[in-house]
């Protein structure tokens, strides 16, 4: 299946993902002289109709199986020679001028490893730092492939490519380093929100983008709509998460365990502050210590080796003596601030501990009593049918140790009221809903909505 739009006589947008779905952003912006992609992500349901657990494509065979089932567009002049080796699509030197990333989440970056190495990547310096850290920590999970040209930028920079001018503007999301774009094209300006919210401590960043986008009088706005649903809005803020966590910790008579995404730095700050307010010490693992260390240069984060309100947890290893020989280079770096299950088991009310599903085994050693578990991550884990088995196992562990479960979370995406505010403030000529399962809902807030279709092209 070939999927390449004809050379345009005007500006066009082709949607290879992110249309009628949440995630999978892969938008080709084409002008008479330029071709760029906005994001190059993997859909959350990528390949699920053909692959399952052990039944998956061989990485060594590149795009062979993906082309077979039509789940990656068979587009010429886009992919690397290695990825095309066992396919019917011949390798040709790429004609793509660049891929512009909104942030590091896999639904925006997950297919970068397929690309020709000579296609330039543009990303925020925070996104680059996070991708580098995650690639080092989780090499089997995070791999963007080889790229010969990576250009980090910051808010306020201007990037000129042939007949395009691209202006990245920082926005608030559930991870640092998230960007929106205003793009000057021969057919008028295009504003692209990326993923954004305006109910956290960095709301002003999103408001700066909204003001700049409005001033640009855009021909089109590509607006994410993760939370644009017909259901009543449940709108929680980061301040409310902090207050709820603070209350749970204050009332807890034992150890408090907190689960949240490692790169949700706003959430880290909320829980860390609530921990210090309660006079407790926050315990992180060695991987989180490494991440904080890598990001300290660009973000306001504590030193995992020196901060007195932070401890680094070490698992019981082979020698069962917490000896230096048992740990790798990344782990050894933080042994000067070590804590083990013994200290936590002896004085559980002194600590709040970062945890997660894959860290439950430590409860066997800590043996908590009257503990509390704060789940502060995506609601889909606790509610989605696809997570039923993991949820059952988690509940069994919590029940076994008599641990009370709490939820304290707010989304990384704008709610309906903020989406309405952004659209009306920006006032584009054309509104194009992306990253949403409910694009029709946008017709309630704008008079000229064009709903994209996967593989379809919109000409401006």
pLDDT tens for the 460 residues of the chain, in order: 345 555 556 899 999 999 999 999 999 999 999 999 999 999 988 988 999 888 988 888 999 999 999 999 999 999 999 999 999 999 999 999 999 999 999 999 999 999 999 999 999 999 999 999 999 999 988 999 999 999 999 999 999 999 999 999 999 999 999 999 999 999 999 999 999 999 999 999 999 999 999 999 999 999 999 999 998 888 899 999 999 999 999 999 999 999 999 999 999 999 999 999 999 999 999 999 999 999 998 999 999 999 999 999 999 988 888 988 999 999 999 999 999 999 999 999 999 999 999 999 999 999 999 999 999 998 766 666 777 888 899 999 999 999 999 999 999 999 999 999 999 999 999 999 999 999 999 999 999 999 999 999 999 9
Report the C-alpha gap between 299 and 292 in whole angstroms. Answer: 9
CATH number at residue 326: 3.40.50.10710
> Structural domain tally of the chain?
2
- Using the structure block, give the residue that is written with the tokens 């559980």: 348
The answer to whether residues 102 and 84 belong to one domain is yes
In a domain, 427, yes or no: yes
- Using the structure block, give the residue that is written with the tokens 């904080």: 292
In a domain, 268, yes or no: yes
The answer to whether residues 297 and 279 belong to one domain is yes
The answer to whether residues 98 and 205 belong to one domain is yes
The answer to whether residues 130 and 55 belong to one domain is yes
Bridging pattern class, strands 35-38 and 98-100: parallel
- Print the domain residue range for 388: 238-407
User: What is the reported pLDDT for 3?
Assistant: 53
Report the C-alpha gap between 131 and 270 in whole angstroms. Answer: 23
The answer to whether residues 313 and 455 belong to one domain is no
Contact 150, 121 (CB under 8 A): yes
The answer to whether residues 47 and 157 belong to one domain is yes
pTM higher than 0.85 for the full model? Answer: yes
Report the C-alpha gap between 393 and 95 in whole angstroms. Answer: 49
Q: Dig out the tokens for 233 from the structure.
A: 């809005």
- Using the structure block, give the residue that is written with the tokens 């932070």: 310
User: What is the reported pLDDT for 23?
Assistant: 92
CATH number at residue 448: 3.60.15.10
In a domain, 3, yes or no: no
User: What is the reported pLDDT for 436?
Assistant: 97
DSSP 8-state assignment for residue 8? P
The answer to whether residues 384 and 262 belong to one domain is yes
In a domain, 438, yes or no: yes
The answer to whether residues 173 and 215 belong to one domain is yes
Q: What is the dihedral of CA 76, 77, 81, 82, to 10 degrees?
A: -60
Report the C-alpha gap between 18 and 37 in whole angstroms. Answer: 12
In a domain, 291, yes or no: yes
Report the C-alpha gap between 190 and 37 in whole angstroms. Answer: 13
The answer to whether residues 267 and 158 belong to one domain is no
User: What is the reported pLDDT for 228?
Assistant: 96
The answer to whether residues 126 and 220 belong to one domain is yes
**3-state DSSP percent of the chain in helix, strand and coil, to 5:** 30, 20, 45
Report the C-alpha gap between 272 and 75 in whole angstroms. Answer: 47
Backbone angles phi, psi at 100, to 5 degrees: -105, 120
The answer to whether residues 100 and 180 belong to one domain is yes
The answer to whether residues 116 and 195 belong to one domain is yes
Report the C-alpha gap between 50 and 35 in whole angstroms. Answer: 31
Report the C-alpha gap between 141 and 372 in whole angstroms. Answer: 30
In a domain, 355, yes or no: yes
User: What is the reported pLDDT for 10?
Assistant: 86
Q: Dig out the tokens for 185 from the structure.
A: 């094209």
DSSP 8-state assignment for residue 232? P
Q: Where are the beta strands (DSSP E) in 220-332?
A: 220-224, 256-259, 281-285, 310-313
């Amino acid at each position: 299946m070939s999927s390449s739009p004809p050379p345009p006589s005007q500006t066009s947008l082709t949607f290879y993902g992110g249309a009628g779905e949440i995630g999978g952003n892969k938008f080709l912006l084409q002008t008479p002289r330029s071709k760029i992609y906005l994001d190059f992500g993997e859909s959350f349901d990528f390949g699920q109709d053909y692959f399952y657990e052990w039944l998956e494509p061989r990485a060594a065979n590149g795009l062979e199986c993906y082309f077979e089932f039509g789940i990656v567009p068979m587009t010429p002049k886009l992919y690397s020679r290695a990825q095309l080796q066992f396919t019917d699509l011949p390798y040709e030197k790429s004609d793509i001028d660049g891929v512009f990333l909104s942030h590091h989440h896999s639904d925006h970056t997950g297919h970068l490893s397929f690309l020709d190495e000579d296609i330039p990547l543009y990303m925020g310096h925070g996104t680059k730092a996070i991708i580098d850290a995650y690639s080092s920590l989780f090499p089997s999970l995070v791999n963007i492939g080889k790229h010969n040209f990576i250009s980090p930028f910051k808010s306020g920079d201007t990037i000129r490519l042939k007949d395009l001018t691209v202006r990245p503007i920082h926005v608030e999301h559930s991870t640092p380093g998230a960007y929106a774009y205003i793009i000057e094209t021969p057919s008028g300006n295009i504003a692209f929100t990326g993923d954004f919210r305006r109910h956290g401590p960095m709301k002003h960043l999103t408001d700066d983008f909204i003001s700049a986008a409005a001033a640009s009088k855009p021909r089109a706005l590509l607006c994410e709509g993760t939370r644009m649903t017909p259901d009543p809005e449940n709108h929680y803020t980061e301040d409310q998460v902090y207050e709820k966590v603070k209350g749970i910790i204050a009332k807890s008579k034992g150890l408090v365990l907190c689960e949240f995404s490692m790169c949700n730095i706003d959430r880290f700050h909320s829980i860390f502050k609530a921990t210090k307010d309660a006079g407790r010490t926050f315990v992180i693992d060695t991987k989180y210590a490494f991440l904080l260390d890598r990001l300290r240069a660009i973000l306001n984060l504590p030193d995992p080796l020196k901060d007195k309100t932070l401890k680094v947890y070490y698992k019981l290893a082979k020698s069962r003596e917490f000896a230096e020989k048992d740990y790798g280079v990344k782990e050894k770096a933080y042994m000067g601030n070590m804590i083990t299950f013994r200290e936590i088991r002896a004085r559980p009310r002194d600590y709040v501990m970062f945890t997660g599903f894959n860290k439950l085994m430590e409860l066997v050693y800590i043996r908590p009593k009257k503990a509390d578990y704060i789940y502060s991550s995506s609601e889909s884990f606790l509610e989605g049918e696809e997570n039923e088995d993991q949820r059952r196992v988690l509940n069994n562990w919590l029940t076994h140790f008599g641990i009370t479960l709490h939820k304290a979370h707010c989304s990384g995406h704008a709610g309906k009221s903020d989406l309405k505010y952004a659209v009306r403030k920006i006032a584009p000529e054309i509104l194009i809903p992306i990253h949403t399962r409910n694009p029709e809902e946008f017709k309630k807030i704008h008079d000229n909505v064009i709903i994209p279709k996967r593989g379809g092209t919109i000409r401006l």
